[in-house]
A and B are shown apart, each in its own frame.
Chain A
Amino acid sequence: MQGVKKGHRVLVTGVGVVSPLGPDLSSNLRSLLEGRDAVRLVEAFDVTKTRCRTAAQIPDEWMEGALPRRRSSDRSHRGARMAAMALREACEAAKGPTPELIVVGTTSGGMSFGETYYRRLLAAKSRKGLARLVGNYTPQKSIHDALEANRLRIPAQIVANACSSGTDAIGHGFELVRHGLRTCVVCGGYDPLCELVFVGFDSLQAATPEKIRPFDKHRSGMVLGEGAAFLILESERYAAQRGATALAEIVGYGISTDTYHLTQPNPSGIGPKLAMQRALESGGLAAGAIDYVNAHGTATVFNDATEGAAISELCGRVPVSSTKSMMGHALGAAGAIEAAFSVLAICQQFLPANINFNEPDPAWEFEIIGNVSRAARVNYALSNSIGFGGTNATLVLKRV
């Protein structure tokens, strides 16, 4: 490895998103501006026995043609389709970047193929087609399919830091470019909905049978979502050399590990607070510079209490929203999708809504943006992710 050169500016030159709010960046922007609610009854598997029966899902029709038409593509997981679509959009937006590496966050990859495999074993059906399921369920396979579909033969680092995965993937890519180890990296996350994870959150009573209401006094839990998002990160010099246009700049990344409990955050809020502090320090910023916080905001009692305490203590009366209120929690993809939404907030100078919000929780000082998005000056946006295992990660993005 070469020695480290510090201080390269890291520009975002391309963004691609597929989420329940839309199959591309512009449709996601429209949905964010409208405050659209994409949460529906789950159709992919049986939910008659769970407390929560809703999630935000991507219609399969949106992903037709995401992979090249050939036999091997038929075997691929729908996660590969999401990833391929978002990756293509990001690369096209960046107008021909030549990334050296892809860093991707996910939590469950192609787990639904594992579920199908197990159900077929239980039903003692023939073994025909099982190899297809095994070969395509692993988290890295969908990314390799997406790379192949986009004619990119580059190394892939797959980060599985639970719900912080997407943010950590972008954070790692950011640090590689900032320190001169890479000039161009694709970063992001993908996570398709699956039964095992859906029931998992339901069994922990973290999922709600009601609407998802982040930061509401009467919040009762999360709903799941799915999706994929990728950001093209380039050093300023490389972007200038090839005439790329910057959409935003990433200026800070912070990470912390809260060792309090595997599934419960330390109620003091020290985990997310440390991640935010470290991200601000990494960007050389004071908390007062932040114009918008895209919160992790899962709407569980514990998450919002912890994150709320941290934001309140650190940032005071900053405007905050959780875009999960519109599209649920996309787990390993959430941080990447929310970073993409933060880029949109910066580019379009608006604050995304926090829908289904009725009553503020008096515990916090910050301003919940509420049910309607609004125009605002956004020079700096901060995006939080918090996950199982005590993983906390924060990105700071800047207007260019």
Chain B
Amino acid sequence: MNFFIQGIGAVTSLGPTALETWRSLCRGEQAPRRRITDGLADRQYFSCPVPGKFVGEAARQPRLRRSGTLSLLGAVAGFDAVSDAGLKPGSGLGDKIAIVFAICSGGVNYTRRFYHEIVTQGANRASPLLFPETVYNAAASHLAALLDVDERCYTLVGDSSVGLSALHFALELLLTRPELDRCLVVGTEEADWLLADAFASWRMATNKDQFEVYGRTCGTIFGEAAAAVLIGRTGPLEISGSSPGRPFFSVRDSESVADELFGNFSAEGSPDIIVSSANGTFADVVECKVFSQRYPSLPVYAPKPAVGEPLGAGALLQVALAGLALRFQQLPGTLCAGRKLPSVNRETRFCAATKALITCVGFNQQVNAVKLRLI
């Protein structure tokens, strides 16, 4: 049984839609960095925020009036994917569609505000308006309400590879529920000082305003984003391979796990391009070794130096961009690329590609990959 991507959606710091983000990336643009500080400590970081005007229309929905950034971004990307498929929300779409969300850190801003009130003002003063939005599935619930979905709605949590696990989960739903026509898979994440500080203390984030990929690994910069794909039973872009992912129990272990998993995807023919998860951390080292050995001549595109690391949205954004690369036969250039991976694609160029491999080495012990094929 085959499944296809029918619609692609996204909202990033570079654009309010997947197409506008794509055009910016092809022009070699980098998302503006915003300095983020906090009264908790004098450390400062940079992030790639989504401008408020990109989510303005979603924020006017009564259901989203009090919701956090995470939910707003998820709704915008979800609607973008539905629209890209030529469908209209509210036209009976909700009856035969499932929703799967991918989340990593969740509503960090609301969570920290709620916990800050507990710690500083006392548990009896914490606002009941904040708590519901701290729940992982809040964003999925809002989108289900907006699309009138009354049955299958799931939220998966994990590291930056969770989007690929969610995509596989969606395929499992379509396989086991023949009455479903489609599944909308959405990844979303917000950037917050606390997130950057936490990952910096874990040596995964940098306090600089740039990071290099496939070069010196000095940590990443977080970006806000959401990405979505609408999966159905027909269409021009086939999901020709997917996996629930593989765990690794140490960084040392990750290379062999990645090598085995990524290698499985070349069994039915080598891909033409790779859209990778490189983000200035150990993930680059792992990918670099595997790509150099298995796919030494394939062009590799890493979007995160341009848009930041959007964690729960990251892997689905890679899928969205890989889909657009196949659709438009064009591969953007990787910004801030180091010298360790010679095959990294440095300039936007035409590419006659029909197969794309999307890889992700997650921060927290999960490796995954997906393969797309243009029919």
Contact = CB atoms under 8 A, between A and B. Distances in A.
Interface residues of B, number: 70
A155 interface: yes
B189 interface: no
Contacts of B122: 49
Size band of the interface chain A makes with B: 35 or more
A176 B137 CA distance: 22
B13 interface: no
A1 B170 CA distance: 12
Interface string B149-162: 11111111111000
A199 interface: yes
Contacts of B198: 117, 130, 134
Given A47-B123, A134-B199, A155-B244, A118 B115 contact: yes
Contacts of A130: 198, 201-202
Given A134-B201, A201-B131, 17 more contacts: A1-B3, A1-B175, A155-B245, A156-B247, A158-B157, A160-B155, A160-B156, A179-B175, A195-B123, A204-B132, A256-B151, A259-B149, A259-B150, A262-B132, A388-B132, A390-B141, A390-B145
A179 to B, nearest CB: 5
With a 10 A CB-CB cut-off, give which of A51, A205, A256 has the most chain B CB atoms. A256
Contact of B365 (A4, A141, A390): A141
B128 A259 contact: no
B319 to A, nearest CB: 16
Interface in B194-219: 194, 197-199, 201-203
A97 B150 CA distance: 36
A196 B157 contact: no
Given A49-B122, A134-B198, A139-B157, A144 B365 contact: yes
Contact of B132 (A1, A124, A263): A263
Contacts of B104: 138
Interface in A195-223: 195-196, 199-205
A259 B141 contact: yes
B172 interface: yes
14 contacts: A47-B123, A122-B119, A139-B157, A140-B158, A140-B364, A140-B366, A168-B154, A178-B176, A195-B118, A204-B128, A204-B131, A205-B128, A388-B132, A388-B137
Contacts of B124: 49-51
A179 B142 CA distance: 30
Interface of A: 1, 3-4, 46-47, 49-51, 101, 106-107, 109, 114-115, 117-119, 121-122, 124, 127, 130-131, 134-135, 138-141, 144, 147-148, 153-162, 168, 172, 175-176, 178-179, 181, 195-196, 199-205, 255-259, 262-263, 274, 278, 387-391
A159 B155 contact: yes
Contacts of A176: 172, 176
B144 interface: yes
Contacts of B41: 121, 124
B246 A119 contact: no
A119 B135 CA distance: 21
A130 B150 CA distance: 42
B29 interface: no
Given A140-B366, A154-B247, A262 B138 contact: yes
Given A147-B247, A155-B247, A257-B141, A203 B154 contact: no
A257 B1 contact: no
B83 interface: no
B172 A172 contact: yes
Contacts of A148: 249
B22 interface: no
A199 B247 contact: no
B114 A200 contact: yes
Contacts of A117: 198
Given A1-B1, A161-B137, A390 B176 contact: no
Nearest to B245: A155
